[in-house]
Structure 1
Amino acid sequence: MTVSTSGIAQNSAPQHGPRPLPLFIDMLRGETAASPERRAAALAGLRRYQEAPRPRRTMKPARRRKGAARLRDHGGDGPPVVFIPSLINPPFVLDLSPGRSLIEHVVAAGFHAWLVDWGHPRPQDTRLDLAAHVTDRLLPLLARCDRPPLLVGYCLGGTLAVAAAALLEDRVAGVATIAAPWRFAGYGDPARDAMARLWREVEPGCRTLGVVPMEVLQTAFWTLDPARTVAKYEQFATADDLAAANFVALEDWANQGAPLTYAAGADLFRLLADDAPGNGRWQVGGRTVAPQAMRCAATEFVSLTDRIVPAATAIGLPDRHDVGVGHVGMIVGSHARERLWQPLVTWLRRPHSF
């Protein structure tokens, strides 16, 4: 990559994101228009990120398979805990690096941890909607557990985990959601209108492709807070080595991810528009999913500073834990251990959970 005299990156970028890079450059140009110093710092951060060394990441072994989905064995002794990540980014944010791993913490607390890896959609999966990800992928994987598992769902994975728990009833020991959207009206009309406009623009192309590319969803996330997206690269330009390694690991996660199947992507934008879960009308496997009526133990962890999944979108379970860190910070941030990891383990250990 080269930089022009105007300070904006030119030519092709190295293989590492951010994705989509043209949109990032446009946001950078707008956010730093009045400050050449900020623009230079953000570009320096961008170059440092793209050129940073990356250690090889090895995923845990897949013990069970269903379609493109895998259930990966993270080991441990004790009751099974199945972590269900979002469909939108790779699953490894829940096991980001040594010392920054919710799964590692849960294993050390005496549980056997499993991680759902949704995989990469295949050409025949284009009609696999969100409900089918539960019935045709998640439920068959869970059915092979040797005892009722505890489910821990993050972001959209929490939404899917609730549907799975509602269908399985007493065949799950409990379900915990972390920053999971349910009442989609909680995004507010301006954000929902913006998402609807985006979908109208990209839907024909996605329908032709049979998938919703990750770049479409990243565009939606970035427009929620473009200033923060640019500012973190400014700060990264001068970060120390440890902070830099942590930044690279997290940004690589945020900039990776398989596309959604067309049906799942269309479903997600539809939920944003009609709020079927929040209105008690979301059906999975021929049944309306009602979180308040689930027979298993259930809890939710809600970020009070989340821009991706605002607190207003939470389910509203009687057992609710408010967390004063953001959507990603509650999983891997410097306060994650005391504000999420340990409270989650405390809940998992409750006698009624088994």
Structure 2
Amino acid sequence: MRWIAEQGFHAWLLDWGEPTPGDGDLSINGHIERVLIPAMQQFDEPPVLVGYCLGGTMSIAAAIAGDCAGVAAIAAPWHFRGYGEARDDIGSLWEAARTGCEQLGLVPMEVLQTGFWRLDPARTVAKFESFATMAPEAAAMFIAMEDWANSGAPLTYAAGAELFEQLLLADAPGTRAWRVAGRLIDPADLTCPAVEFVSLGDRIVPAATAIGLPDRRDLGAGHVGMVVGSRAKEQLWEPLRDWLAAIP
């Protein structure tokens, strides 16, 4: 964010806040309709949206349902059938966790992280095995990244239910059955400039789930590495800056 601002752009970061059980009925659609689109309307001119992971999925919907000057999706899942056999495993996880989450009104981060681990269990074990032989500097970075990845706010219950049931299991976006703000969300309906950055080494959002925009940029990095890795500036930051600068 600091770097992109230094390139001459007015960059705003949307903080979704810390949900409470009283927010349990706020779905992903609700976040778009009641938070994101109203925030977009606060600017004198339509903004350009840049969304990462599920934020990219939501940004595509907001760009279609709202007034937007451009949209960039970074590692954003759309065709959720691209998760393959992992969908059934994660579906079982949600089935086991759903009642407890409903009672809480929230979906704790631990439920989400368990879902991420199930995408590639062997890799999860291997990365912790490698920690035992890491040099001190690399180990410190590993701990910092794991602390970041395992912290954060929970989802509201409705957002978690929509994520697991409508997006992941039913593949509503990929089958053109996802409605937001009364509109059927189809990326083909985008009228503003749009680009997607797809990580070919991403296990959290596999390349098979990509949106399929005409302007697609493939990166050789992982889900987190594409944003903060040693080659992130070269692979993502600079191409994103150039794309933003080219918007009329």
* TM-score, with structure 1 as normaliser: 0.67
Q: Does 1:304 align with 2:195?
A: no
Cα offset, 1:139, TM superposition: 1.2
Structure 2 unaligned runs (5+)?
none
Contact 2:196 2:217 in 1 (8 A): yes
SS of the aligned residue for 1:116 comes to coil
Q: Does 1:133 align with 2:28?
A: no
**1:99-152 Cα deviation digits (max 9, x unpaired):** xxxx12211211111111111112321011110000011112221123221111
Task: Name 1:198's counterpart in structure 2.
Answer: 93
| Comparing 159-168 and 241-250, the one that deviates more | 241-250
Q: Does 1:156 align with 2:57?
A: no
Q: Does 1:289 align with 2:185?
A: yes
* Structure with larger RCO (C-alpha < 8 A, sep 6+): 2
SS of the aligned residue for 2:43 comes to coil
SS of the aligned residue for 1:117 comes to coil
Q: How far, CA to CA, are the matches of 1:218 and 1:165 in structure 2?
A: 28
Q: Does 1:224 align with 2:122?
A: no
Task: Name 1:332's counterpart in structure 2.
Answer: 228
Q: What is the letter of the counterpart of residue 63 of structure 2? A: A
Q: What is the letter of the counterpart of residue 170 of structure 2? A: D
Alignment coverage as a number of residue pairs: 247
Task: Name 2:145's counterpart in structure 1.
Answer: 250
Q: How far, CA to CA, are the matches of 2:55 and 2:177 in structure 1?
A: 19
Q: How far, CA to CA, are the matches of 1:346 and 1:125 in structure 2?
A: 39
**1:312-340 Cα deviation digits (max 9, x unpaired):** 11110000001111111100111111111
Q: How far, CA to CA, are the matches of 2:183 and 2:91 in structure 1?
A: 27
Q: What is the letter of the counterpart of residue 138 of structure 1? A: L
Task: Name 1:349's counterpart in structure 2.
Answer: 245
Q: What is the letter of the counterpart of residue 35 of structure 2? A: R
1:257-276 correspondence runs (5 A): 257-270=152-165, 271-276=167-172
* TM-score, with structure 2 as normaliser: 0.95
Q: What is the letter of the counterpart of residue 129 of structure 2? A: E
**1:25-47 Cα deviation digits (max 9, x unpaired):** xxxxxxxxxxxxxxxxxxxxxxx
Task: Name 1:55's counterpart in structure 2.
Answer: none
Cα offset, 1:253, TM superposition: 1.2
Cα offset, 1:348, TM superposition: 0.7
Cα offset, 1:242, TM superposition: 3.6
Q: 1:294 to 1:209 in 2, by over 3 A?
A: same
Cα offset, 1:259, TM superposition: 1.1
Task: Name 2:107's counterpart in structure 1.
Answer: 212
Q: 1:145 to 1:241 in 2, by over 3 A?
A: farther
Task: Name 2:68's counterpart in structure 1.
Answer: 172
Contact 2:86 2:118 in 1 (8 A): no
Task: Name 2:2's counterpart in structure 1.
Answer: 104
Cα offset, 1:195, TM superposition: 1.3
Q: How far, CA to CA, are the matches of 1:110 and 1:161 in structure 2?
A: 22
Q: How far, CA to CA, are the matches of 1:237 and 1:311 in structure 2?
A: 30
